[in-house]
């Protein structure tokens, strides 16, 4: 049996079903089964105490009220599928966010208001951070 993080498992498998007793305190492990096209896999999972807060924050940013289209926010978080004029900015945020400049945003201001750009940038940053977090948790689980 393998130890994995719940978030990583949810990202990897189409359905995620818990079995066994509930957790008995902070850090308690539980037995889960994840079903994929390649068959079922059994794991011992250590719950992530911050997963629910992160999930709610991400859902609020991506699907909550805003000035930008929620589909564009979701695509920005995923890193692909945004309108062509936004793809360069989204790629830069996902790969090298520290390289984003005022000029990158200025080029987009003819089509997007500041509030829309803010929401798109935050969505891309949250999506990139979630991807990095899951990769890090996976690496820890495999260590």
- Residue with the bigger pLDDT between 22 and 139: it is 139
Q: Is the pTM value of this prediction over 0.75?
A: no
- For residue 106, is it within any domain? yes
Establish how many alpha carbons lie within 13 A of residue 36's alpha carbon, considering only the half-sphere containing its beta carbon.
Answer: 9
User: By CB neighbour count within 10 A (0-12 exposed, 13-18 middle, 19+ buried), where does 127 fall?
Assistant: buried
What is the per-residue pLDDT for 43?
54
Q: What are the DSSP calls for 116-137, one per residue?
A: HHHHHHHHHHHHHHHHHHHHHH
Rounded Cα distance between 44 and 56, Å, is 24
Q: Looking at the structure, do residues 38 and 104 belong to the same domain, yes or no?
A: no
Look up the domain containing 97 and give its range: 51-136
Q: Give yes or no: residues 56 and 42 share one domain.
A: no
Range 72-82 average pLDDT: 96
Q: Output the pLDDT for position 140.
A: 76
Is 22 a residue whose pLDDT tops 70?
A: no
Contact 90, 124 (CB under 8 A): yes
């Amino acid at each position: 049996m393998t130890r994995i993080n719940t978030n990583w498992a949810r990202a990897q498998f189409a359905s995620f079903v818990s079995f066994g007793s509930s957790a008995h305190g902070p850090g308690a492990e539980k037995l889960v089964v994840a079903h994929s096209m390649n068959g079922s896999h059994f794991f011992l999972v250590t719950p992530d105490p911050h997963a629910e807060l992160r999930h709610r924050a991400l859902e609020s940013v991506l699907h909550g009220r805003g000035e930008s289209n929620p589909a564009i926010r979701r695509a920005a978080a995923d890193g692909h599928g945004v309108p062509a004029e936004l793809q360069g900015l989204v790629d830069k945020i996902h790969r090298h966010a520290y390289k984003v400049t005022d000029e990158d945003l200025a080029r987009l201001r003819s089509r997007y208001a500041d509030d829309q750009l803010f929401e798109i940038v935050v969505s891309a940053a949250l999506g990139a951070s979630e991807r990095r977090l899951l990769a890090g948790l996976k690496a820890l689980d495999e260590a």
